[in-house]
Amino acid sequence: MTEAGQVPEDISADRPSVARLYDFFLGGHHNFAADRELGRRLLSVEPNARQIVAENRAFLGRAVRFLLASGVRQFIDLGSGIPTQENVHEIAQRGAADARVVYVDNDPVAVAHSRQILGANPLVTVVGADLRDPAAVLGHQKVRDLIDFGLPVGVLMITVLHFVPDSDDPEGIVAGFAAALAPGSYLAISHATQEAVPGTVAQVQDLYKSTTAAAHPRTSAEILRFFAGFELVEPGLVYLPLWRPDGAPPEHPERAWFYAGVGRKVSG
């Protein structure tokens, strides 16, 4: 990946990427034939896939607005992806012009796309890095330049932790980020679960094995453990549409089989 943001030549167009697949579900244009083919197979298994992705983006928006209202002015978006619209910095800077955002992703297309849409915004940056190495992310010069770790930070891990297998110690990874945060910082997570529709999720999980990152749905108890050291704000860990909905939630929120929660760091 070049600093200029050109798409590097080492991208494998034959192997579906979880970032490009997500872009396909969002209706974006940063995906290849292999991504679209797998996307269509996934849609035949889970016809609600596009709605679930939309619910996830809506949760992201509500979470960022909640953090803004709670006084947070700096955000680290881990596994930021290839969002086509309503990016974190757009939502955040609409609420507070001085809001600062660091995007982090390990997918070259996601990083190149983020660089493209950022333009010359001095309060936003993108880092191509693997979140499984918190020390490398937190120590990155661009992160140090933009984020003041003496002040609260909103860390977003939206639809990304289920791409980290237990063997990579996701709890330790989250704890690595949490340790660097000032009290009053926040952690927002959305995460796939097998609890509501186990058969569908097992088929989806099977199809994701051919992508750049296999999927590891978790139970609510397992996801709650990521919030160690944080106090969950109301309404706790709930299905996506139930987290502080703007309007009436759908009749069957469990059909968006992702849990969502936001926690506030309680002490140093």
Please give the residue ranges that form the binding site for ligand SAM (CB under 6 A): 18-19, 22, 56-57, 60, 79-81, 83, 104-107, 110, 130-132, 158-160, 163, 213
Nearer to ligand SAM, 99 or 127 (CB): 127
Nearer to ligand SAM, 245 or 266 (CB): 245
Across 228-263, b (16+ Cβ under 10 Å) vs e yields ebbeebeebbbbbbbbbbeeebbeebbbbbbbbbbb
DSSP 84: S
3-state secondary structure at position 257: coil
CB of 55 to ligand SAM, least distance (A): 10
Residue-by-residue DSSP string for 157-221:
EES-GGGS-GGG-HHHHHHHHHHTSPTT-EEEEEEE-SSS-HHHHHHHHHHHTTSSS------HH
Rounded CA separation 169/177 (Å): 13
CB of 29 to ligand SAM, least distance (A): 15
CB of 111 to ligand SAM, least distance (A): 9
Nearer to ligand SAM, 79 or 152 (CB): 79
CB of 267 to ligand SAM, least distance (A): 27
Nearer to ligand SAM, 24 or 227 (CB): 24
Q: Which residue is nearest to ligand SAM (CB)?
A: 81
Nearer to ligand SAM, 200 or 251 (CB): 200
CB of 204 to ligand SAM, least distance (A): 12
Residues 6+ apart with CB under 8 A from 214: 163, 165, 205, 208
